[in-house]
Amino acid sequence: EAGVTQFPSHSVIEKGQTVTLRCDPISGHDNLYWYRRVMGKEIKFLLHFVKESKQDESGMPNNRFLAERTGGTYSTLKVQPAELEDSGVYFCASSQESRIQETQYFGPGTRLLVL
């Protein structure tokens, strides 16, 4: 069974440009989460999808970030325009159920560097 995949693995862009990150969850997993780790800080929650619906986007830093999950399969996270403080590692995770004991399966992350 394929795991969670993310594309690209690395992205280097200039301030003001746009970047789109993609996440493909494990097949059949309705729950998809985005997390981010800014250098030197802990990994923090960004948002949660159940199928195509946003359940919780309380962690999204501002309106420069837009996440979508059309059709309830893969998800994209767009940053427009990118700022220096957006640099970090963006992780995607998926799970079958949404419950307290559920394991989330993580992708390898996208390393974003904004210059």
Partner 1 sequence: AQSVTQLDSHVSVSEGTPVLLRCNYSSSYSPSLFWYVQHPNKGLQLLLKYTSAATLVKGINGFEAEFKKSETSFHLTKPSAHMSDAAEYFCVVSDPSGTYKYIFGTGTRLKVLA
Per-residue HEC secondary structure of 16-40 comes to CCCEEEEEECCCCCCEEEEEEECCC
Query: What is the nearest approach in angstroms of partner 1 to the Cβ of residue 16?
Result: 28
Residue appearing with tokens 């929650």: 45
How far, in Å, are 40, 56, 103 from residue 64 at the CA level?
22, 17, 30
- Residue placing its CB nearer to partner 1 in the complex, 47 or 114: 47
- Residue placing its CB nearer to partner 1 in the complex, 14 or 56: 56
Footprint of partner 1 on residues 14-73 (CB under 8 A)?
A: 33, 35, 41-45, 48, 55-56, 59
| Chain residues that interact with partner 1, rule: CB under 8 A | 3-4, 33, 35, 41-45, 48, 55-56, 59, 91, 93, 98-109
